[in-house]
């Protein structure tokens, strides 16, 4: 009777959302075990063992798990799933990729992207781009669940000392190959966990004009987001996209600039604590969910915004 | 080579859905329906591969009630060669859908299955991956670029950190991102021609797979509403509100 959580990491460190997933897992069942599958990933196993909510770490180190290919990872998870009632991972591109393969292998119906744990078998999850919340009960004996990380607080990182068990690798099918990963490097906070997000939409009109967004973001120590329209238009790379098919963010402050507020964008940001909309179209749907709306031409408003921020004595970090 | 492309009928992406008062679901009567948007990208990519000469045949499949056929007709109108409609009047979970698609794959023996990465109604993001696992095939999810080689595909995938490139042997399952391509519109002559293309009929419950739903929907409700905000007159007022009222900067 315990939960097996699959850690997301880069073979050196745990990815921050694993901590949010651990919190959610502990609400399903306090006996949380974490599987760290990677290559040269000893430090990750140690990091996971130090999380007080974690009761045991299963560590499998093999070159086959270096790049988390789902064809390799899913059989490993399935192999070690026997003792567990729940298999859990973050509902991001990591968890979404491999978890359905595990569910299919176990003939269990996955519950995706939960935002609340009502009981070990009953969960709340958003549907229709978050325009409805469904309460669902899983009648499977073994349950595969993915967790929306931003709906749960990150678990404290230190103070624990869980046992680390080395576990056997599984056979790999050898029909897929990792070629390369192009990660967008940035000095700014990560979009998923930033306290403030400044996002630009089609209203920016070009990639060069995103400098106006970047300047504000740097001043506020914020992450930069974008609407799907801005990414589709090539103004900015896909990892910045906020929305139903992009990232879901819940910052303290979300500033939407030149974004009209399509349903699919709102799905990714409407749980933010404070929402600011800057748009020249006073009828734009984004204003209906904004706490503070400014109807203005962004090319005038953003430089003014920066100079007003520069006048402040202090800015929270 | 042959491609099977799976399409789903969903509430149109522009419709603001309404939750039923009794909590049993959302209103679908007299609501505009259309093909799930990334499924259109899946069809488009299949047609492009056919146009490149590497693919001989495209079969479009849907699972749903009689009206779901519209999505297959649309795929036929933009270039699929024939269709399959697996009839079911009740909702089937991704696990059951994947089992049905596996049956169709075993019958059709395609080299590739293309699907949208996620349906915009239940937002599950499972079917393609489950199908790949059931077939013991490799998968490429969230694909934004597909390069077909002799016996494999090189795929660029959109991931949280940026982009990832993988190579998967054929046969394989590909789930498509919205940026994979720009779906074309069907021309009127092609819509007329599509009406003559064949659509095979099957019945879901006759396929000999267990499609019993295991996840029970207890209730559907509206998310908490946000309190109405205010419009500020200028940037100075905005900054002052953020600093002194909301206290977030």
Number of continuous H segments (helices) and E segments (strands) in chain B: 6, 13
In chain B, which among 210-229 make CB contacts under 8 A with chain A? 213-223, 226-227, 229
At A87 the pLDDT is 98
Give the DSSP H or E segment for A256. Answer: strand A253-257
- Residue A134 pLDDT grade (very low, low, confident, very high; cuts 50, 70, 90): very high
pLDDT of residue A184: 83
Which strand (E) or helix (H) includes residue B41? helix B37-51
| Dist CA A55 CA B234 (whole Å) | 53
Q: How far is B145 from chain A (nearest CA, A)?
A: 13
Please tell me which residue of chain A has the smallest CA distance to B236: A308
* Angle of CA points B83, B89, B93, to nearest 5°: 85
Q: What is the DSSP string of B163-204?
A: EEEEEEESSEEEEE-TTS--PPPPPHHHHHHHTTS-EEEEEG
| Residue A186 pLDDT greater than 90, yes or no | no
- Report, as an integer, the average pLDDT of A258-265: 95
pLDDT of residue B119: 97
Strands A176-183 and B9-11 turn out to be unpaired
Among candidate residues B217, B186, B162, B241, the one with its CA nearest the CA of residue A10: B162
Q: Where are the domains of chain A?
A: 3-166, 196-311
Instruction: Give the CA dihedral B202, B205, B210, B213, nearest 10 degrees.
Output: 110
> Could you say which residues from 52 to 91 on chain B have a Cβ atom under 8 Å away from some Cβ of chain A?
none
DSSP 8-state class, residue A9: B
ipTM of this predicted complex?
A: 0.95
Residue (of A145, A30, A141) closest to A85 by Cα position: A141
Q: How many CB atoms lie within 10 A of CB B153?
A: 22
For A49-175, where are the E strands, in sequence order? 54-61, 86-90, 111-114, 116-119, 122-127, 132-138, 143-147, 163-166
| CA gap A101, B187 in Å, rounded | 38
Residue-level pLDDT at A245: 85
H or E element: which one contains B104? helix B94-108
- Kindly state the helix (H) or strand (E) to which residue B237 belongs, with its residue range: helix B235-240
Alpha-carbon span B132 to A161, nearest angstrom: 38
Contact A296 B121 (CB under 8 A): no
Q: A180 has which bridge partners? A: B165
Q: Under a CB-based contact definition with an 8 Å cutoff, are residues A99 and B83 in contact?
A: no
Per-position DSSP letters for B42-95, written without gaps between them = HHHHHHHHHHTTS--EEEEEEEESGGGHHHHHHHHHHT--EEEEEE-SS---HH
Residues of B in Cβ contact (< 8 Å) with A108: 95, 214
Residue B3 to chain A, least CA–CA distance (Å): 19
pLDDT at A168 over 90: yes
Q: Which of B129, B147, B170 to mutate to test the interface with A (most CBs of A within 10 A)?
A: B129
A199 in B contact zone (CB under 8 Å): no
Nearest 5 degrees, angle CA A256-CA A262-CA A265? 60
pLDDT at A314: 80
pLDDT computed for residue A315 by the predictor? 80
The total of structural domains in chain B comes to: 1
Closest among A257, A14, A305 to B241, alpha carbons compared: A305
Task: Say if B22 is an interface residue toward chain A (CB within 8 Å).
Answer: no
B 25-54 → A contacts, CB under 8 A: 26, 38
- Please report the pLDDT score of residue B228 as a whole number: 80
**Contact by Cβ (8 Å): B232, B241:** yes
Given B17, B120, B179, which is nearest A232 (Cβ)? Answer: B179
Helices (H), chain A: 16-28, 42-49, 70-79, 93-105, 210-220, 228-232, 263-266, 298-311
d(CA B110, CA B225): 47
Q: Inter-axis angle of helices A93-105 and A70-79, to 10 degrees?
A: 50
pLDDT interval class at A313 (50, 70, 90) = confident
Select from A102, A149, A125 the least CA-distant residue to B217.
Answer: A125
- Residues of chain B with pLDDT below 70 are none
For helices A210-220 and A298-311, the axis angle rounded to 10 degrees is 20
pLDDT at A1 over 90: no
Q: What value does the mean pLDDT take over residues A78-107?
A: 97
The answer on pLDDT for A317 being more than 80 is: no
CATH class of the A3-166 domain in this structure:
alpha beta
For A196-311, CATH number?
3.40.50.1220
Q: What CATH number is attached to the domain comprising B111?
A: 3.40.50.620
Measured CA to CA, the distance from residue A51 to residue A131 in angstroms comes to 34
Which residue, A124, A73, A315, A90, is CA-closest to A192?
A90
Tell me the shortest Cα–Cα distance from B22 to chain A, in angstroms: 13
Residue A290 pLDDT class (50, 70, 90 cuts): very high
Structure tokens at B49: 């591969």
Fold match flag (A3-166 vs A196-311): yes
Q: Measured in whole angstroms, how far is the alpha carbon of residue A253 from the centre of its chain?
A: 17
How much is the pTM?
0.95
- Give residue B13's domain range: 2-245
For residue A6, report the phi and psi dihedrals to the nearest 5 degrees: -95, 120
Closest approach of chain B CAs to the CA of A292, in angstroms? 5
């Amino acid at each position: 009777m315990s939960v097996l959580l699959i850690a997301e990491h880069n073979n050196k460190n745990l990815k921050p959302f694993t901590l949010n997933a651990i919190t959610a897992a502990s609400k399903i069942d306090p006996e949380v075990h974490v599987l760290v599958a990677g290559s040269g990933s000893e430090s990750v196993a140690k990091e996971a063992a130090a999380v007080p909510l974690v009761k045991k770490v299963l560590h499998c180190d093999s070159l086959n798990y270096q790049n988390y290919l789902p064809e390799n990872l899913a059989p490993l998870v399935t192999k070690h799933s026997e003792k567990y009632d729940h298999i859990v991972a973050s509902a991001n591109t990591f968890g979404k990729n491999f978890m359905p393969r595990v569910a299919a292998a176990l003939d269990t119906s996955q519950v995706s992207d939960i935002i609340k744990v009502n009981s070990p078998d009953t969960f709340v999850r958003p549907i229709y781009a978050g325009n409805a919340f469904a309460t669902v009960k899983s009648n499977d004996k073994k349950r595969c669940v993915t967790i929306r990380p931003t709906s749960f607080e990150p678990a404290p990182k230190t103070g624990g000392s869980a046992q680390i068990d080395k576990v056997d690798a599984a056979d790999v099918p050898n029909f897929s190959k990792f070629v390369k990963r192009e990660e967008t490097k940035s000095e700014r906070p990560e979009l998923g966990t930033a306290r403030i997000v400044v996002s630009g939409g089609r209203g920016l009109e070009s990639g060069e004009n995103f400098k106006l967004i970047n300047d504000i973001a740097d001043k506020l120590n914020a992450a930069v987001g974008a609407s799907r329209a801005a990414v589709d238009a090539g103004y900015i790379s896909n990892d910045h996209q906020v929305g139903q098919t992009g990232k879901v963010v819940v910052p303290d402050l979300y500033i939407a600039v030149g974004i009209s507020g399509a349903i699919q964008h709102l799905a990714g940001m409407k749980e933010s604590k404070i929402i600011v909309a800057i748009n020249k179209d006073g009828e734009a749907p984004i204003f209906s969910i904004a706490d503070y709306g400014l109807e203005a031409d962004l090319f005038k408003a953003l430089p003014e915004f920066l100079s007003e921020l520069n006048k402040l004595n202090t800015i929270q970090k | 080579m042959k491609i099977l492309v799976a399409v789903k009928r969903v509430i149109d992406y522009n419709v603001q859905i309404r939750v039923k008062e009794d909590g049993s679901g959302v209103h679908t009567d007299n609501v505009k329906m259309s093909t799930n948007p990334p499924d259109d990208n899946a069809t488009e990519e299949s047609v492009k591969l056919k146009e490149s000469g590497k693919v001989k045949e495209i079969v479009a499949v849907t699972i749903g009630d009689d009206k779901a056929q519209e999505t297959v007709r649309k795929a036929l109108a933009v270039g699929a060669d024939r269709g399959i409609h697996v009839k079911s009047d009740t909702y089937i979970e991704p696990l059951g859908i994947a089992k049905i698609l596996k049956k169709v794959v075993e019958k059709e023996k395609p080299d590739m299955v293309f699907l949208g990465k996620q349906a915009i109604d239940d937002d599950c993001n499972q079917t393609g991956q489950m199908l790949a696992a059931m077939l013991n095939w490799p998968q490429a999810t969230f694909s934004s670029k597909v390069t077909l080689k002799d016996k494999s595909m090189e795929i660029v995938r959109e991931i949280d950190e940026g982009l990832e490139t993988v190579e998967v042997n054929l046969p394989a399952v590909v789930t498509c991102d919205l940026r994979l391509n720009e779906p074309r519109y069907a021309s009127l002559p092609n819509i007329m021609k599509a009406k003559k293309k064949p659509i095979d009929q099957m019945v879901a419950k006759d396929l000999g797979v267990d499609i019993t739903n295991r996840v029970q929907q207890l209730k559907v409700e509206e998310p908490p509403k946000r309190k109405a905000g205010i419009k500020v007159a200028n940037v100075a007022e905005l900054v002052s509100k953020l600093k002194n009222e909301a206290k977030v900067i």
